[in-house]
Amino acid sequence: MKGLPGFRDFYPEPLPTADSWSLDLRQYIFKTWRSTAERYGFREYDGPPIEDLELYTKKSGEEIVGQLYNFSDKGDRKVSLRPEMTPTLARMAASHTRNYKKPIKWFSIPQLFRYERQQKGRLREHFQLNADIIGEEHLSADAELISLLIDTLRNLKLTKEDFFVRLSSRQAWQDFFEKNGGEQNNAYAFYQVIDKLEREDPKVSNDKLTKMGFSYDQVNEFILKGQPTEELSAIIENIEARGLGDFIEIDYRIIRGLAYYTGPVYEAFDKRGKFRAIAGGGRYDHLVNLISGGRTSLPALGFGMGDVVLTELLKDRNLIPELSQTINVFVQITDESMRNTSLGLIQQLRQAGITTEYPLLKTKPDKQFKRAFELNAKWLITIESDNQATIKNLESRKEKICPIDDVTEIVKSKL
Ligand code: HAM
């Protein structure tokens, strides 16, 4: 039986086929996401993978509602797998806002589900780093998040030649929309057209814009002028002060497809324009209020960075580190009468935090030796008698005989 389309199997290295997904690579990405977010003072949270359907309808916008993996559960509740983390975060923050000092800086690495047409960079499940700040209106919070986004990618060894962040403003577009006579109930449809401008046939975009009283040229002129608002200038100044100015550009073609954004918005792309967005985010100051039914109001902002495009980009730039399994010790059992003594030592080594492997069954010595190399073992240990063992360093090939009771200490001191 095959897995469902758009869902991935993750294998440990070495991979069965060149296009298999690697769990070791996924762990490398998650570790970098986690350590960078922690370095910026963010705390990890999590929520349920299934939520009340209503959390997403109306709040995220039509596009995501059309992609929901929703169903009725056995209690006839209308539920959905989470397509994004932001509504869950807004719900969690709204319920316990008094318990946390503001600003709240939280991150999460959820698996998300969207019933999309499977294509390059888009699957029906993906993982996302979500980093958000809740309870801070000042633009320094926007700059802090964009810097975290940039540093996360830099910590994966991507440079300014590889990626950049395109910064824009939903508010600037809202002002443009109002100034040019747009009707408020068309606003989201208008943002959707702008969001798709780069991917859609200009004629189709023009037709849609004309129906709302705008023209393609008028919109294009606004984009090309690209005058940074005061807000965007302040964000850029903050990011430049950190020496990260080379990673950011004003670009009004960015508006974000989700409905809830209210202020500065941004997306990260690869510089060669080969891939879809690596990450996207912005300010969503009204979502907590909307989700709490008006009980709590908190400004909020954040971004999501997906693992799918990121993996494609790291592969394209040859930035995948060596991921094969490595162990500290392989305990060779050449004499089966020493198996129990060997098991005693193996247990001691593992309890001391030393990664240890050994043959489960009687195995020819040359096969054991080969296996130790395949596992990149640093040490090969053989019990010679009831109280003596040989320790061999597989890199230098040097070996020595020592009492079994000293083996763990010797290995530990050399790690
Ligand atoms: P988003 O732009 O929908 O934003 O997703 C963020 C990133 O997740 C995208 O740039 C892309 O890399 C990845 N992604 C999205 N959908 C898929 C898919 N079907 N397959 C593979 N990768 C995908 C959000 O989800 C917002 N909730 C982010 C956010 C957090 N805004 C504020 N806080």
The predicted model gives 162-184 an average pLDDT of 95
For residues 343, 344, 347, 353, the Cα torsion angle rounded to the nearest 10 degrees is -120
Residue bearing the bigger pLDDT, 39 or 259: 39
Ligand 1 neighbour 86 (Cβ under 6 A): yes
Q: What's this model's pTM, rounded to 2 decimal places? A: 0.95
Q: Could you report the per-residue pLDDT of 87-97, keeping only the tens digit for each?
A: 999 999 999 98
Q: What percent of the chain has pLDDT over 90?
A: 92
**Rounded CA gap, 147 and 142, in Å?**
9
**Rounded CA gap, 165 and 249, in Å?**
6
- Asked whether the predicted pLDDT for residue 137 surpasses 90, the reply is yes
Q: Could you report the per-residue pLDDT of 204-225, keeping only the tens digit for each?
A: 999 999 999 999 999 999 999 9
Q: Which amino acid is at 347?
A: Q
> Which token pair is 387?
């109280």
- Asked whether the predicted pLDDT for residue 315 surpasses 80, the reply is yes
Ligand 1 neighbour 87 (Cβ under 6 A): no
Spacing, Cα 277 to ligand 1 middle (Å): 8
Spacing, Cα 110 to ligand 1 middle (Å): 11
Instruction: Give the atom of ligand 1 at the shortest distance from the alpha carbon of 114.
Output: 19
Ligand 1 neighbour 126 (Cβ under 6 A): yes
Spacing, Cα 230 to ligand 1 middle (Å): 27
- Residue 220: the pLDDT is 94
Ligand 1 neighbour 147 (Cβ under 6 A): no
Ligand 1 neighbour 8 (Cβ under 6 A): no
Atom 8 in ligand 1: residue holding the nearest Cα? 306
Confidence category of residue 252, pLDDT binned at 50, 70, 90:
very high
- Asked whether the predicted pLDDT for residue 415 surpasses 90, the reply is no
CA 2 to chain centre: 26
Ligand 1 neighbour 108 (Cβ under 6 A): no
Could you give the C-alpha distances from 337 to 334, 366, 383, 386, in angstroms and in order? Answer: 9, 18, 10, 10
Spacing, Cα 282 to ligand 1 middle (Å): 12
Looking at CATH, the fold of the domain delimited by 329-414 is given as Rossmann fold (3.40.50)
**Rounded CA gap, 45 and 375, in Å?**
35
Could you give the C-alpha distances from 130 to 101, 146, 252, 298, in angstroms and in order? Answer: 20, 12, 23, 18
Mutate to test the pocket of ligand 1, among 26, 33, 126, 128 (most ligand atoms within 8 A of CB): 128
Confidence category of residue 46, pLDDT binned at 50, 70, 90:
very high
- Asked whether the predicted pLDDT for residue 412 surpasses 80, the reply is yes
The predicted model gives 352-378 an average pLDDT of 97
Spacing, Cα 85 to ligand 1 middle (Å): 9
- Asked whether the predicted pLDDT for residue 202 surpasses 80, the reply is yes
Ligand 1 neighbour 262 (Cβ under 6 A): no
- Asked whether the predicted pLDDT for residue 104 surpasses 90, the reply is yes
- Asked whether the predicted pLDDT for residue 58 surpasses 80, the reply is no
Ligand 1 neighbour 263 (Cβ under 6 A): no
**Rounded CA gap, 317 and 192, in Å?**
32
Spacing, Cα 292 to ligand 1 middle (Å): 23
Confidence category of residue 65, pLDDT binned at 50, 70, 90:
confident
In our burial notation (b when 16+ CB lie closer than 10 A, e otherwise), range 176-215 reads bbeeeebeeeebeebbbbbbbbeeeeeeebbebbeebebe
- Asked whether the predicted pLDDT for residue 60 surpasses 80, the reply is no
> Which token pair is 171?
């508010």
Mean predicted lDDT score pLDDT of the chain? 95
- Residue 61: the pLDDT is 73
Spacing, Cα 122 to ligand 1 middle (Å): 10
- Residue 118: the pLDDT is 87
Ligand 1 neighbour 83 (Cβ under 6 A): no
Could you give the C-alpha distances from 232 to 171, 228, 238, in angstroms and in order? Answer: 11, 6, 10
Spacing, Cα 269 to ligand 1 middle (Å): 13
Mutate to test the pocket of ligand 1, among 308, 310, 312, 313 (most ligand atoms within 8 A of CB): 308
Spacing, Cα 129 to ligand 1 middle (Å): 9
Ligand 1 neighbour 51 (Cβ under 6 A): no
- Asked whether the predicted pLDDT for residue 167 surpasses 80, the reply is yes
Confidence category of residue 270, pLDDT binned at 50, 70, 90:
very high
CATH number of 10-47+85-316: 3.30.930.10
Spacing, Cα 305 to ligand 1 middle (Å): 6
The predicted model gives 121-140 an average pLDDT of 97
Could you give the C-alpha distances from 394 to 213, 259, 373, 382, 398, in angstroms and in order? Answer: 74, 58, 8, 13, 8
